[in-house]
Amino acid sequence: MNATNIKIGLFGFGTVGQGIYRVLERSANAHAQICRICVRDINKPRDVDAPRDIFTTNADDILNDPEVNLIVEVIDKAEPAFEIASKALSKGIPVVTGNKAMLAQHLPELIELQRKHNVALLYDASSCGSIPVIRNLEEYYDNDLLLEVKGILNGSSNYILSRVFDHGESYDSALRHAQELGFAESDPSFDIEGFDALFKLVIITVHALGVYVKPDDVFTYGIANIHDADIQYAREKRVKIKLVAQVVKLDQDKFTMFVMPEFVTKSKYIYSVDDEYNGVVIRGECYDRQFMFGKGAGSLPTASSILSDIMARRHDYRYEYKKMNYLSRPSYTTDVTLKVYVRFSATNILHVINFERVYEQYISDNNNYVIADVKLSELIAKRERLNAPDLFFANIPQFYIDRD
């Protein structure tokens, strides 16, 4: 790419697309200009005034424009985004994207397209907004010492939990605010049911351990069913409930991963990660723990990460996926025991789940709870039944040395 002349074809002009427009206005050193913008509806009212003649509703106007030498894709649907990215990469046009759903579902094909057409796809904005998680995992942690990446990867659910825990706001009102502030997905069930965090975890795992795991194979449980009784329980135990995504090496050959609400004690870094902020703890042999913290959602924070990828293209940067070619890579297992809190009422969870060991049971007129050990594979096998609205699960971390 001509280092002084980046001509961007932008797909999507919503919260993030408009943020990119604003961020580029402040960044003379990017030497980058948005030439064309593809949207579904040109006449939709928007906060940012871009020249009307650069808008189109036809993707091919951009993909066939010989002037465009970088595609930036920030639409909110996975399949149309995959079509755009595949076409661009097949034509040898590099792509910058923030589309975690597309990446999590199609990374193997997208990696193959990059290799086949010798072209770059960059996506640091897809995971944790403004925090440079992907590039650091790809470049700095390129060794066998890495043991775990764990954190708060979804800004909206963290915002909701913070508002409910610390400000006594109702769940519904906090969710509405997360939507108004531009943190939530257009379908917020992705945020509160844990799928947004799952998609980010799948992408992170590719760059952390060099292994792609299909989203469907990962246990994912969100905060949608949290109830006053759970908040009350957590307060009594002096812990916070956070939605935590984690990929953890169990030994040199095996790792596990899952997304679940977790009881977080005050001594943990992520205890103080509130509102729409994200926090990622990276644990490894020799260096113990490192912590990355920053805004994980919102227009300008996400756009700042897209800008960083645009700038990286000025130096022809691309991911090499080195870890995917290592001779030995750990393999994914769900044969691991978790200690969980389960609150239940109508559904007798003890008849649904085969717990390995029950530590505590509390039965009352309204809510019951149990603290017990359960295999992750058992949670996956029963996952359809665990979405019953009268159930809430939280992980009680315990299966590795817990010192942060």
Residue ranges binding ligand HSE (CB under 6 A): 129, 154-156, 183-185, 191, 196, 296-297
**233 Cβ neighbours under 8 A, 6+ residues apart:** 341, 343, 369
Backbone angles phi, psi at 32, to 5 degrees: -125, 145
59 or 152, CB closer to ligand HSE?
Answer: 152
Give me the half-sphere count of Cα atoms (radius 13 Å) on the Cβ side of residue 396.
Answer: 13
Place of tokens 């070619």: 325
Give CA angle at 213 (391, 253), nearest 5°: 105
Q: Tell me, what amino acid is at 175?
A: L
Give me the half-sphere count of Cα atoms (radius 13 Å) on the Cβ side of residue 179.
Answer: 12
Closest approach of ligand HSE to the CB of residue 297, in Å: 4
Closest approach of ligand HSE to the CB of residue 15, in Å: 9
Helix (H) or strand (E) segment spanning residue 202 = helix 195-209
Please answer whether residues 291 and 8 qualify as being in contact, where contact means their C-beta atoms are separated by less than 8 angstroms: no
User: What are 262's strand-pairing partners?
Assistant: 242, 395
Structure tokens at 86: 């595949």
Distance of alpha carbon 270 from the chain centroid: 16
User: What are 56's strand-pairing partners?
Assistant: 38
User: What are 152's strand-pairing partners?
Assistant: 279
Report the alpha-carbon distance of residue 92 to residue 117 in Å, rounded. 6
Give CA angle at 324 (153, 326), nearest 5°: 130
Structure tokens at 340: 């969980």
19 or 155, CB closer to ligand HSE?
Answer: 155
Please answer whether residues 359 and 245 qualify as being in contact, where contact means their C-beta atoms are separated by less than 8 angstroms: no
Closest approach of ligand HSE to the CB of residue 55, in Å: 24
Closest approach of ligand HSE to the CB of residue 275, in Å: 11
Closest approach of ligand HSE to the CB of residue 316, in Å: 27
Report the alpha-carbon distance of residue 388 to residue 114 in Å, rounded. 42
The one catalytic residue among 200, 240, 242, 249: 200
Place of tokens 């531009």: 182
Closest approach of ligand HSE to the CB of residue 26, in Å: 21
**274 Cβ neighbours under 8 A, 6+ residues apart:** 158, 162, 166
Report the alpha-carbon distance of residue 339 to residue 355 in Å, rounded. 10
- Confirm whether 200 is a catalytic residue: yes
Positions marked catalytic: 200
